[in-house]
Amino acid sequence: MTDLNAVEPAAVSRLDRASGVVETARFLGSGAERVYGYQYVPADTRGVAIVMCPAILGDFVTNYRREVVGARALASRGFPVTKFHYRGMGNSDGHALEMSFDTMVEDALAAAAALEGDTGISDVAFVGTRFGSLVAAAATRALATRAVAMWEPMKDARTYFREMNRSRMMHDVSGGERQGASFDDLASDLRANGYADLLGYTLGRRLFESAIDRTLLTELGGRAADVLIVQYNLRKRIDPSRRKLADELRAAGYDVELQAVQGVELWGLHSDGWTPVESRPAVRELVEITTQWFLRRTEGDAA
């Protein structure tokens, strides 16, 4: 009898006739735990390839389609793109309890290596969404790449976990509970059980403890890189915390561009009224800002 677990699934590809981009879904690399990803490769490529580092927990689902739209737009302008699932999430192998910050960075680097192997392009840049911005920063440092774009980035992991737990607290209170679980309660759950439930998504102790002290500045590690920060929120006014982050990065020597997009819903929440993601003006603006930023940095790189 054939062991289905030992069979390497074939890649599945489609050609977007309008853009000439070939989209391929497959496992990247090999081994006991594989990274599942999607590659978007245009017929005529520029000299830079892009790896998109996704969000996690509830943000993973909320932002998934935005990342697809972004990947397709970048590929249509000549950038080969890979977007992937971290091991322990989505369609990748592994378990959520085995995830750590280091394994997430390894997955981003594996995606970059696979994209280089398929396109021959060694100059790789990164895009990170929310918590994925920390991963993108670490990967940027590891490969000494020249550009990283961040969509609604978190300045540090501790702030992100607090924000996710605050959403859980609000849910508990709105559901009739007198008091939601505090951040200390979250840490206690992780120590006692090895995991915590954040609105139906599993946060493992290994990821929490390996990431809790990570910051964007330390993960970038002083490498010379251009940084794009795009804030996506209900108001187009730049949030003071985002301005402070940009100023801190500039003080550390980074060339930072800070933009704001006015969305119709909060980054991690769904709105009451629904329209297709690709039809939303805010998403189109987010993608266009990012695409133009990369184009300005790669003029003359088109093959």
Q: Is-contact 211 157, C-beta < 8 A?
A: yes
Distance CA 252, CA 71 (A): 29
Q: Is-contact 84 54, C-beta < 8 A?
A: yes
- Confidence (pLDDT) at 9: 57
Token pair of 3 as six digits: 């062991």
Contacts of 254 (CB under 8 A, 6+ apart): 220, 224, 225, 226, 227
- Confidence (pLDDT) at 175: 56
Distance CA 6, CA 43 (A): 33
- Confidence (pLDDT) at 103: 97
Residue that the structure tokens 């497959």 belong to: 26
User: Residue 47 CA to chain centroid, in angstroms?
Assistant: 22
- Confidence (pLDDT) at 302: 45
Distance CA 182, CA 46 (A): 48
Q: Is-contact 36 90, C-beta < 8 A?
A: yes
- Confidence (pLDDT) at 235: 73
Distance CA 50, CA 53 (A): 10
Residue that the structure tokens 């696979």 belong to: 114
- Confidence (pLDDT) at 148: 97
Distance CA 228, CA 72 (A): 19
Which domains does the chain carry?
11-156+214-297 (3.40.50.1820)
Token pair of 249 as six digits: 């990065």
Token pair of 272 as six digits: 């009451």
pTM over cut 0.85: yes
* Parts of the chain with a pLDDT under 70: 1-9, 30-31, 168, 170-181, 264-274, 300-303
Decide the pairing of beta strands 35-41 and 49-53.
Answer: unpaired
- Confidence (pLDDT) at 64: 92
User: Residue 169 CA to chain centroid, in angstroms?
Assistant: 25
Residue that the structure tokens 């970059």 belong to: 112
Alpha-carbon separation of residue 222 from 25, 81, 188, 213, 284 (angstroms): 34, 25, 34, 17, 32
Token pair of 65 as six digits: 């389609």
Distance CA 71, CA 66 (A): 9
Dump pLDDT digits (tens) for 43-59: 999 999 999 999 999 89
Residues, the chain: 303
Side-chain half-sphere CA neighbours of 159 within 13 A: 14
